[in-house]
Chains A and B, each alone.
Chain A
Amino acid sequence: MPSLDDLRKRITSVKSTQKITKAMKMVAAAKLRKAQENAEKGRPYSEKMNNVILNLSKSITDKENAPKLLVGTGEEKVHLCIVLTADRGLCGGFNTNIIKKAKSYFEKIISENKTLKIITVGSKGYDQLKRQYKSYIVENISFKESKNINYFDADKVGKIIIEKFEKNEFDVCAIFYNKFKNVITQIPQEQQIVPLNEDKDDKDDSGNDNDYEFEPDEDEILSNLLPKNISTQIFKAMLENSASEQGSRMTAMDNATRNAGELVDRLTIEYNRSRQAAITKELIEIISGAESL
Chain B
Amino acid sequence: MSNLFNIDIVNPEQSFLSKDNVFEVVIPAVEGEIGILKDHIPIISFLKPGIIRVFSESEEQNFYVEDGIVEFKDNTLSVLTSSIFDLKDADKNFVSESISSAEAELSKDNIDDQKRFLLNQKVEVLKSISIN
**Which of B15, B29, B46, B80: most chain A CB closer than 10 A?**
B80
B90 beta carbon closer than 8 Å to chain A: no
> Could you say which of A45, A213, A214, A221 has the most chain B C-beta atoms within 10 Å of its C-beta?
A45
B1-38 with Cβ < 8 A to chain A: 8, 10-15, 29-31, 34
Which of B10, B34, B42, B44 lies in contact with A45, CB distance below 8 A? B10
Chain B nearest CB from A66 CB (Å) reads 16
Q: Which residues of B contact A38 (CB under 8 A)?
A: 13-14
Give min CB distance, B74 to chain A, whole Å.
9
Contact B14 A48 (CB under 8 A): no
A197 CB within 8 Å of chain B: no
* Given A212-B42, A212-B44, CB of A48 within 8 Å of CB of B80: yes
For the complex, count residues of B whose C-beta is within 8 A of A.
23
Are A213 and B30 in contact, CB atoms less than 8 angstroms apart?
A: no
From B11, B45, B82, residue with most partner A Cβ within 10 Å: B82
Q: Are A42 and B80 in contact (CB under 8 A)?
A: no
Residues of A within 8 A of B13 (CB): 38, 41-42, 150-151
Q: Mark A35-79, 1 if CB is under 8 A from B, else 0.
A: 000100110111011011001100000000000000000000000
**Contact partner of B69 among A44, A46, A52, A210, CB < 8 A?**
A52
C-alpha gap A273/B79 in the complex (Å): 71
Given contacts A42-B13, A52-B71, A216-B31, contact A151 B44 (CB under 8 A): no
Residues in A neighbouring B44, C-beta threshold 8 A: 52, 55-56, 212-215, 221
- From B11, B12, B78, residue with most partner A Cβ within 10 Å: B12
CA distance A46 to B34 in the complex (A): 25
Question: In the complex, A212→B42 CA distance in Å?
Answer: 5
Q: Which residues of A contact B80 (CB under 8 A)?
A: 45, 48-49, 52
Interface residues on A, range: 20 to 34
- A212: B residues at CB distance < 8 A: 42-44, 73
Q: Scan A203-237; emit 1 where CB is below 8 A from any B CB, else 0.
A: 00000001111111000010011001000100100
Q: Which of A42, A56, A216 contacts B14 (CB 8 A)?
A: A42
Q: Are A210 and B14 in contact (CB under 8 A)?
A: no
The interface residues of chain B lying within 8 Å CB-to-CB of A56 are 44
Bound-state Cα–Cα, A224 to B34, Å: 20
Given the known A-B contacts A45-B80, A52-B44, A52-B69, are A215 and B10 also in contact in the complex, defined by CB atoms under 8 Å?
no
The interface residues of chain A lying within 8 Å CB-to-CB of B42 are 210-213
With a 10 A CB-CB cut-off, give which of B42, B44, B45 has the most chain A CB atoms: B44
Q: Which residues of B contact A48 (CB under 8 A)?
A: 8, 10, 71, 78, 80
A27 to chain B, nearest CB (A): 22
How distant is the Cα of A228 from the Cα of B46 in the complex, in angstroms?
Answer: 12
18 A-B Cβ contacts within 8 A?
A41-B13, A41-B14, A44-B8, A44-B15, A45-B10, A45-B80, A52-B44, A52-B71, A150-B13, A155-B82, A215-B30, A215-B31, A216-B30, A216-B45, A221-B46, A221-B69, A224-B46, A235-B12
4 nearest CB pairs, A to B: A41-B14, A151-B12, A215-B45, A213-B43
- A residues neighboring B (CB under 8 Å): 38, 41-42, 44-46, 48-49, 51-52, 55-56, 150-151, 154-155, 210-216, 221, 224-225, 228, 232, 235
